[in-house]
Structure 1
Amino acid sequence: MIEPNFRLLSTDELLSAVVGDVVEIRVLENVMMQKIAELERRGAAAELGYKNVAQVLRHAVRWDLKTARQWVARAALLAREITPTGAVLEPELPVTAAATADGELSGEHISAVAEVMKDLPPEAEAPVVEFAREHELSAVRSFGKELAYKLYQDDPEPREAEPEPPVNRLRTQWKGEQLEVWAKLDKISGAKFEAMIDPLAKPRPTTPEEGPDPRSRAEREGDAFADLIDLMLRADKLPEHGGEPVTLTLTMSYDDLVEKTGLAMLDTRERIPAALVRRLACNAGVIPVVLGGRSEPMNVGRKARTFTAGIRRLLVARDRGCAFPGCHRPPKHCDAHHIRFWSEGGETSVDNAVLLCRHHHTLIHQSDWEVKLLNGIPVFIPPAWLDPDRRPRTNTTHRDSGRVAA
């Protein structure tokens, strides 16, 4: 193939060629976003054992998680939805979708239009997109703010809410698979809470495997709150309920636990999937109650059967933190995970355990990643779609070697 000599082109021809290339790239990016939307629509993340499509893309194409989330978010804005009856719904931003398909808008322009449209009615999308066709991102945002001001300048100013008495309040409500928590604390209790949350909510260190921590502050503090719950469950002194320290009981059939199907019932009568039960069963403060064919209890695992303080100390000395490749999380943020699942006869011992942070503990339970001990060192086998050779990996942040021979 003979490479073109761009030096023979005039400046106008060269610049025109660059503009044409950009249009082609944008059209191709639009096609890619439609494919990403289809991955989202068909539930590819759950099929592969990942939390969401962004996590899949991070490993598949080596994007950092922030970039992957941006692509998924843009794809959702531009994709047509199909209802269970087969009806096709227009994209959330139909004018933006049409302009993107023609190669007139970049991914950054899509995000900018979506940002300003949060404060504008749907009919404002056409003038915003028309402006975006000719201007850079900062101008689009300024145009959107000016348009919003013109539309709402005559609206009355919102009234400030009356201040509430400084008392501690907590409300919880299950919504789908998540528990919503709303709280108000007095100054002293609030300061104590912040002091506990702040060190847990620091961004994860940048790693070669996963890049910089992409979580927003709200996400980091939410994960820190969850970590705080785990730390409390591992504490020596907890309030008692019914004469024993606070525990969480999970009840399900033995067959469902082994086959990773069905649901388990919590003390609150809320139901959770079997795959999540396997991860929770690794943690202290959780009692699995396994039922036989006639629903009689076959086995009630006690807290003593979870990883003891002595075993945990040995794991900390060996793994020095989360053992997943590239993770820097310290031991206090980690759970002890049964390499061979407890439901499959796995023992609660150092030789059947590895330290994993919450994020990677979930990934191991839900995906095709595998973990085993090789010469006493935890090694991780990636899914075949990520590495066809499935070459074992270790955590290079804790050890000298990056790859281990199978």
Structure 2
Amino acid sequence: MADLIDRIEGMALDASEIVAVREVLSRRLIDAPLAMMSDKEAVELTQAVETQTRRDEAVKIRLSAELTERRVAAKLGHKHNNFLRLVLRISAAQASGRSKRAERTGIWHSITGEVTEPRYPHAAEALRDGAIGLAHEKVIFDTMTALPASIRSDLGLWAQGEKSMADAARTMDPDELKKVGLHLHAYLNPDGTFDDVDRKQKRELNTFKQGADHMAGIKGNLDPATKALWDMVAEKWAAKGMNNPDDPQSPSGNVDKADPQAIKEAAARDSRSQGQRNHDAFRRLLEMVVGQGKLGQHRGLPARVIVTMTLEQLESEVGLATTASGGVIPVRDALALAGATRKFLALLDNKHRPLFLGRQARLASADQRLALIAADRGCCRPGCDKPATRTAVHHLTEWSKGGRTDITALALVCDGDHGQVHDGANGWLTEIITNRTGPPGWQGRIGWRQRGTADPPRPNNTHFSELFFTHPEMWDPDGDDDVAWFKERAREAFGEPQSEPPIRTVDFGWRRPLAA
């Protein structure tokens, strides 16, 4: 084994060649026989593979930093994290996490080309050695950022703490390392004192994306004043019998305005937990704030909940509707939430584009924006998951160049992607896909393509995940008709191939090469 390692290390290979050798070995390892190994050899193999996997994470971090320094994403008109999502097919959280780890432990260069030391040098070294994994690095980061500002600003103490945590991580699992972090806090901050700067840094309130049951988690850290305010709301609005959505006779709103006898009777029927009562009080509070119009306007529309559903869903009151903020809501709940308020009916064609609704002014009307919310659901750039509430109305042909504010020539684009539509070398074009510019499933939809490329304009299916099963031809260019369309365009561009290519006909660049 040692001789084999020495021979491999003696080979003069560049990065691409190393990856090629690694690919061959990885394919062989996945099917390598294991039955003849002893227990000791199996354990050692497991440990070796784990070390290699951890070292792979360090390589990924290094590559993320390299791509950032080269500004590869910016050259293609993307933000770095979104670019990682597109080319690696990883989640937004994974892309963000990799970028943040690269900031902490990656290899970076100054303007003059000199290597700068990572912010977490000892953790970075342990990652490169394969001695720790991402979970260890996360514990180290969480421990160090939770220290008081007075200690974080003391570079000597901070460096001492980071080294101690990284050294401990080399011999412990992440759960054990968390306990070491608690002792480190006790050692560096024996009085347990935190000031207003610490509390301001730690305040947060985050909601997570909906799960399979359409519920969304919530995580927060309230400062003392916010906690006191919530306690008072909960005492009155989350009292037993109050604001119970499962009890039609339950008093709603402020307990002071309710009949005491009605509250007493509702409390006797109330089987909710304290957490459930808190949730229902919070919902009622939000309903009042939104329903009374206290939020004003958002991007030209009243700040109200905007829900999109089909006519069939409206009539049957079943299924899932979509919200302008990117979520889903059962149709029955949406209708109950709407109550007696005025509805807006958007009529869409079979390509999910709104029928004509024109305007001679430059700015889209509120009705046009509502129609676009129903049609696009969010930013129309391929791969972007920004919901409609975070988008602006975009003219496919700029107003200054004769574009019209007609519903058939408008689309929703988020602020970040809007800036990528320009006349520069790396700018993007937006257009309606026709039978000459895209395969059958794409025609009639909004497409994006970069200037100076032969790529066809691509639509965004991120907001239409339900079509994956019902209309696969709209989801991905892998069907027979779509492949035939791409091959026909390739023949037009490059002529008839002499022989069938072994891997691809042509690579149009977006998500995957086209298989021959």
Q: In 2, distance between residues paired with 1:85 and 1:230?
A: 50
Contact 1:320 1:398 in 2 (8 A): no
3-state secondary structure, aligned to 1:6: coil
1:163-200 alpha-carbon deviations (Å, 9 max, x no partner): xxxxxxxxxxxxxxxxxxxxxxxxxxxxxxxxxxx9xx
Aligned match for 2:185, one of 148, 155, 158: 148
8 Å CA contact retained: 1:78, 1:92: yes
TM-score if structure 1 supplies the norm length?
0.57
- Please point out which of 447, 450, 462 is paired with 1:380: 447
2:99 pairs with 1:72: yes
Kindly state the Cα deviation for residue 355 of structure 1 after the two structures are TM-superposed. Answer: 3.2
Letter in 1 for 2:60: M
Taking the aligned partners of 1:160 and 1:125, their CA distance within structure 2 comes to 24
Give per-residue Cα distances to partners, 1:38-71, cap 9 Å, x unaligned: 11223233222223x2221111111111111111
Opposite residue 404 of structure 2, the aligned amino acid is E
Corresponding letter in the other structure for 2:143:
V
Distance 1:15 1:362, change over 3 A: farther
Indicate yes or no: 2:33 matched with 1:5. Answer: yes
Matching residue of 2:503? none
The alignment partner of 1:9 has SS state of: coil
Q: Using structure 2 for the length normalisation, give the TM-score.
A: 0.46
Q: Distance in 1 between matches of 2:457 and 2:404?
A: 26
1:369 and 1:383 in contact (8 A); partners too: yes
1:186-335 → structure 2 map (5 Å cutoff): 203=208, 205=210, 231-235=297-301, 304-312=361-369, 314-315=371-372, 318-319=375-376, 323=380, 334-335=391-392
Cα pair 1:354 1:378 within 8 Å, conserved: no
Q: Does 1:353 align with 2:353?
A: no
User: What does residue 109 of structure 1 align with?
Assistant: 136
- What's the offset of the Cα at 1:135? 1.0
Alignment deviations for residues 140-185 of structure 1 (CA, whole Å, 9 cap, x no partner): 12201211212221x4845789xxxxxxxxxxxxxxxxxxxxxxxx
- Counterpart-to-counterpart distance in 1, 2:382 and 2:93: 19
* Pairing partner for 2:161 from 124, 146, 149: 124
Q: Could you say what secondary structure the match of 1:150 adopts?
A: helix
Kindly tell me: are residues 213 and 342 of structure 1, through their superposed partners in 2, closer, same or farther at Cα, counting changes over 3 Å?
farther
If asked which structure has higher relative contact order (CA below 8 Å, sep 6+), I would say 1
Contact 1:65–1:214 (CA<8 Å) still a contact in 2? no
Classify 1:123/1:316 alpha carbon distance in 2 versus 1 (closer, same or farther; 3 Å): closer
Q: Pick one of 471, 475, 481 that aligns with 1:401.
A: 471
Give the Å deviation of 1:330: 7.0
Cα distance, 1:98–1:304 mapped onto 2, change above 3 Å: same
Q: Which of 85, 89, 112 in structure 2 is aligned with 1:62?
A: 89
**CA displacement, residues 81-128 of structure 1 (integer Å, 9 cap, x when unaligned):** 322244432111111222211111112211211222232621122221
Distance 1:313 1:146, change over 3 A: closer
1:94 maps onto 2:121 in alignment:
yes
Structure 1 Cα separation of the partners of residues 97 and 430 of structure 2: 30
Quickly say closer, same or farther: Cα 1:319–1:355, change in 2 above 3 A: same
| Structure 2 unmatched ranges of 5 or more | 1-27, 148-156, 198-204, 222-293, 303-358, 435-442, 475-481, 486-516
Q: Distance in 2 between matches of 1:59 and 1:127?
A: 38
Give the C-alpha shift of residue 33 in structure 1.
1.2
Q: How does 1:37-56 map to 2 (within 5 A)?
A: 37-51=65-79, 53-56=80-83
Q: Structure 2 CA distance, aligned partners of 1:5 and 1:398? A: 42
Q: Secondary structure at the match of 1:307?
A: coil
- Return closer, same or farther for 1:317/1:13 CA change in 2, 3 Å cut-off: closer
With over 3 angstroms needed to count, the CA separation of the structure-2 counterparts of 1:93 and 1:348, relative to structure 1, is same
> Could you list the per-position Cα deviations for residues 242-296 of structure 1 after superposition, in whole angstroms to 9, with x for gaps in the alignment?
xxxxxxxxxxxxxxxxxxxxxxxxxxxxxxxxxxxxxxxxxxxxxxxxxxxxxxx
User: 2:107 touches 2:117 (CA, 8 Å); kept in 1?
Assistant: yes
Q: Hey, what's the Cα distance between the residues in 1 that align with 2:109 and 2:385?
A: 42
Count of aligned pairs between the two proteins:
287
Task: Give 2:396's aligned amino acid.
Answer: I
Q: Partners in 2 of 1:63 and 1:160 — Cα distance?
A: 37
| 1:32 pairs with one of 39, 55, 60 | 60
RMSD: 4.5
Unaligned 5+ residue runs, structure 1?
Answer: 162-197, 219-227, 237-301
Q: Distance in 2 between matches of 1:315 and 1:337?
A: 10
Task: Provide the C-alpha distance between the structure 2 equivalents of 1:39 and 1:213, rounded to a whole number of angstroms.
Answer: 34
2:48 is the alignment partner of 1:20: yes
Q: Distance in 2 between matches of 1:314 and 1:75?
A: 41
CA distance in 2, matches of 1:368, 1:144: 48
- The residue type paired with residue 378 of structure 1 is R
2:412 partner SS? strand
Distance 1:127 1:76, change over 3 A: same
Alpha-carbon offset, residue 324 of structure 1: 5.6
Q: Does 1:341 align with 2:418?
A: no
Q: Which amino acid aligns with 2:392?
A: D
Find the residue that maps to 1:67 and give its secondary structure: helix
Tell me, yes or no, if the aligned pair for 1:93 and 1:125 is still in contact at 8 Å. Answer: yes
CA offset at residue 334 of structure 1?
A: 4.6
Secondary structure of 1:141's counterpart equals: helix
Bigger radius of gyration: 2
Distance 2:90 2:361 in 1: 42
Residues 316 and 67 from structure 1, CA distance in 2 versus in 1: closer, same or farther, beyond 3 angstroms? closer
Q: Counterpart amino acid of 1:401?
A: H
**Identity across the alignment (%):** 24
Letter in 2 for 1:355: L
Q: Distance in 1 between matches of 2:110 and 2:89?
A: 32
Tell me: CA distance 1:130–1:204, structure 2 relative to 1, closer, same or farther (3 Å).
closer
**More strand per residue: 1 or 2?**
1
Query: 1:347: how far off?
Result: 2.0
Equivalent position SS for 2:405: coil
